[in-house]
Structure 1
Amino acid sequence: MADLVVRSRRTITPGGAVPAAVVVAGERIAAIRPYDAEVTAAVDVDLGDTVLAPGLVDTHVHVNEPGRTEWEGFATATRAAAAGGVTTIIDMPLNSLPPTVDVAALRIKQAAATGQCHVDVGFWGGAIPGNAADLPALHAAGVFGFKAFLADSGVPEFPPVDREQLATAMAAADALFVIHAEDPERLRVAASSAAYADFLSSRPAAAEHAAVATAVAAARAADRRVHILHLSAASALPLIERARADGVRITAETCPHYLTLDARLIPDGATEFKCCPPIRDAPNADRLWAALADGLITCVVSDHSPCTPELKRRDTGDFAAAWGGIASVQLGLPVIWTAARARGFALADVVSWMATRPADLAGLPHKGRIAPGADADLVAFDPDATFLVDPYALHHRNPVTPYAGRTLHGVVRTTWLRGRPVTGAERHGRLLAREER
């Protein structure tokens, strides 16, 4: 007898949206049967026309615990993730204290996460000046790859690497390197100002373009996989396309805020919109959408980077002084679906961008897809329902989001993690390690 069967006339499988009954035995999908198939199961859920999608995989989340748990923590971040249909996150190595730059720090972070997680959680390691010798052991301990900043990270304990240091790190570990790509020589110190345009001008698209070129050169020289994080500037896309054509193993992601928000509409003093790299204008977003459509950008992830309300400096509205980060792990799916449906994309496209491809990036073949053998991470999603974003109704720790007051399409009705519904009453998320390939 199966443990669970979930039926939907709109089940998003690798072959598209089909009527199906997804049969779960233990923690994995045992079979995909016709929608009305007779299946003996302990629990039989019929969603009717509500969509059944795979749980999303968000490979870019800043949990910040331990050390800055007042910004965010594993309990709150993973509860928000589950409420947004995300069943796997990979935590970034910085903003926690200590940062994940050696095995000892990884063990501290894993200990902090143990017993707190509502979804499955993996970890990135960090590449900083002077820790190249620590990278092989950290990779062997299970991190999914190494994040490096080419510009100031915003926290002193995670300094950026220069070209030589990036080359040294890549030579030390045969791993995936994920890069915050802004060139410090093309950034300028932003003057105190409540005008978003002043902040935007301090971080021009040319800084991203130059940093992507640095990452490409390093990956080519070392023959390493490289992934460009949170691509904001569409001007860098041709460089990525040429590098890929030349055989460089390069991929890129973008984020909901770069695809759906318009720099020209950000009010003065609205520091909840500040992030680095910055939100640019609508024509730039159009080019990012086109790159998603043709596969040049492979993933859409949150870059969930929250902080306390005080650090956002809404009291002064000073973009220069405010912490840069967008809190959106719970909202990514409806934000992207609202915009994608208006552009003529199907929900299967969104699932590819936000579930399957991020899982593939991280090397998690059992995540991000409804297929026999995959983990039974499932989401009941009503794509036609709407809701108004109330920051105080969200599960992440602090009620700050640039999407406040927006009406979005798409409501998550139920999230199952490995066949068990996530309700918030108990925490059955696991800590993940990189799988050898």
Structure 2
Amino acid sequence: MADLVVRSRRVVTPDGERAAAVVVADGRIAAVVDYDAVVTAGVDVDLGDTALLPGLVDTHVHVNEPGRTEWEGFATATRAAAAGGVTTIIDMPLNSLPPTVNTAALKIKQAAAAGQCHVDVGFWGGAIPGNATDLPGLHADGVFGFKSFLADSGVPEFPPVDATQLAEAMNAVDALFVIHAEDPNHLREAASSPAYTEFLNSRPQDAEHAAVGTAIAVARAAGHRAHILHLSAASALPLIARARAEGVRVTAETCPHYLTLDAAEIPDGATEFKCCPPIRDTANADKLWEALADGLITCVVSDHSPCTPDLKRQDTGDFAAAWGGIASVQLGLPVIWTAAAERGHTLADVVKWMARRPADLVGLRNKGRITVGADADLVAFEPDETFVVDAHALHHRNPVTPYHGKVLRGVVRTTWLRGNVVTGDNAGGEFLAREI
């Protein structure tokens, strides 16, 4: 007898969308059978024409606990994730205190997260100047790889590395390195101003282009994997394409805000739109969409990086002084589906970009797909229903998001984690470790 069967005429599998019944036993998908198959199960759910997706995998989330829990914490971040159809997150090593740069810090973070997680959670380690000898032990403890900044991170306890220091880190451990690629030599300090263009001009595409080149050169020399985080500059795409053709193990991601928001439409003082690298224009976004469609950009993740409202300087609207980060972990699926559908993409495309490929990036073979043996992380998604975003109704800690007031298409009805409905009342998430 199965524990659960979920039926839908629109089940999104790795082979495409079809009518099916997903049979769950002991937290795993035991079978995918015909929609009207007779199955004996404790619970039998028929979604009809509501789509059934695998739980999304978001490999770029800043939870910030411990140390800056007033910005965001595991309870609120993972509740928001589940409400948005995300069943796995990988937490970034900053902006928590201490940052996850050694095994002691990892244990502190896990202790802070214990019993609070509504979805499954894994952890990135951090590679900063001087901690190369800590990386092998941290990797052995199960982190999924190491994040580095090539420019100022915004917090003093997580300083950037230069090319030599990045090479030292890469040569210390055979791991996946995920890189914030902006070159400080191409950045300038933005003048205090409520005008978004002043901030945008301070972080030109050249900064990303140069830093992507640095990351590729180091990865080529080390022979290790490099992943470019939150790519916003389309000018860097040919560099990545050439490197991949030459056999360099480099991949790239982008984020919903770079694909759907337009620099020309950001109002003066609307600091909820500030992030680094910045949101650019629609012509640039069009090229990112093309790269996503042809596989050069492999996945779409949130870069959920919230803060308290005061740090966004909404009182002055000063882009130079405001914290840079977009709060969106609950909204990524409808944001991307709204735009993807308008461009002729399918739900299967969105699942590939936001579930299967992020899982593949970090080696989670049992996440992000509806297939026999995978974890029964499932999402009932109404793709044709619309809603208006209300920042105050979202589950992340502080009601700040650039999507407030936008009409989006696609509503998450139910999220299951290993076959159990995530209600937000009971924290049933588990810690994930890198699969050896």
TM range (shorter): over 0.9
Deviation by residue 1:137-156 (Cα, 9 ceiling, x = unmatched): 00000000000000000000
Shift of 1:182: 0.1
Q: Which amino acid aligns with 1:34?
A: D
Shift of 1:252: 0.2
2:10 is matched with which residue? 10
Shift of 1:276: 0.0
1:193 is matched with which residue? 193
Provide the secondary structure at the position in 2 that maps to 1:194: coil
Note the 1:107-256 alignment, pairs <5 A.
Answer: 107-256=107-256
TM-score of the pair, normalised by structure 1: 1.00
How far apart in 2 are the matches of 1:272 and 1:288? 22
Q: Which amino acid aligns with 1:184?
A: P
Note the 1:11-410 alignment, pairs <5 A.
Answer: 11-410=11-410
Q: Which amino acid aligns with 2:11?
A: T
Aligned-residue CA RMSD (Å): 0.3
Provide the secondary structure at the position in 2 that maps to 1:231: coil
How far apart in 2 are the matches of 1:343 and 1:215? 31
Shift of 1:425: 1.4
Shift of 1:109: 0.3
Deviation by residue 1:284-336 (Cα, 9 ceiling, x = unmatched): 00000000000000000000000000000010000000000000000000000
How far apart in 2 are the matches of 1:411 and 1:359? 23
How far apart in 2 are the matches of 1:188 and 1:266? 21
Q: Which amino acid aligns with 2:163?
A: R
Shift of 1:132: 0.1
Q: Which amino acid aligns with 2:198?
A: D
TM-score of the pair, normalised by structure 2: 1.00
Provide the secondary structure at the position in 2 that maps to 1:201: helix
**Runs of 4+, deviation exceeding 2 Å:** none
How far apart in 1 are the matches of 2:73 and 2:427? 14
Q: Which amino acid aligns with 2:416?
A: W
How far apart in 2 are the matches of 1:266 and 1:204? 17
How far apart in 2 are the matches of 1:212 and 1:164? 15
How far apart in 2 are the matches of 1:165 and 1:15? 43
Deviation by residue 1:18-53 (Cα, 9 ceiling, x = unmatched): 000000000100000000000000000000000000
Q: Which amino acid aligns with 1:387?
A: F
How far apart in 2 are the matches of 1:163 and 1:17? 44
How far apart in 1 are the matches of 2:317 and 2:428? 40
How far apart in 1 are the matches of 2:425 and 2:203? 43
Provide the secondary structure at the position in 2 that maps to 1:411: strand
Q: Which amino acid aligns with 2:348?
A: A
Provide the secondary structure at the position in 2 that maps to 1:31: strand
How far apart in 2 are the matches of 1:435 and 1:69? 29
Q: Which amino acid aligns with 1:119?
A: V
Shift of 1:235: 0.3
Quick one: percent identity of the two aligned structures? 81
Deviation by residue 1:174-194 (Cα, 9 ceiling, x = unmatched): 000000000000000111010
Q: Which amino acid aligns with 1:103?
A: T
Provide the secondary structure at the position in 2 that maps to 1:310: helix
Q: Which amino acid aligns with 2:215?
A: A
How far apart in 1 are the matches of 2:184 and 2:169? 19
How far apart in 2 are the matches of 1:358 and 1:289? 17
How far apart in 1 are the matches of 2:266 and 2:424? 34
Note the 1:406-417 alignment, pairs <5 A.
Answer: 406-417=406-417
Provide the secondary structure at the position in 2 that maps to 1:403: coil
How far apart in 2 are the matches of 1:402 and 1:424? 24
How far apart in 1 are the matches of 2:152 and 2:111? 28
How far apart in 2 are the matches of 1:311 and 1:161? 26
**Structure 1: stretches of 5+ with no match in the other structure:** none
How far apart in 1 are the matches of 2:220 and 2:406? 43
Q: Which amino acid aligns with 1:226?
A: A
Q: Which amino acid aligns with 1:131?
A: N
How far apart in 2 are the matches of 1:19 and 1:347? 14
Provide the secondary structure at the position in 1 that maps to 2:326: coil
Shift of 1:120: 0.1
2:434 is matched with which residue? 434
Provide the secondary structure at the position in 2 that maps to 1:410: strand
Deviation by residue 1:257-284 (Cα, 9 ceiling, x = unmatched): 0000000110000000000000000000
How far apart in 2 are the matches of 1:424 and 1:79? 6
Shift of 1:6: 0.1
How far apart in 1 are the matches of 2:178 and 2:164? 16
How far apart in 2 are the matches of 1:261 and 1:321? 21
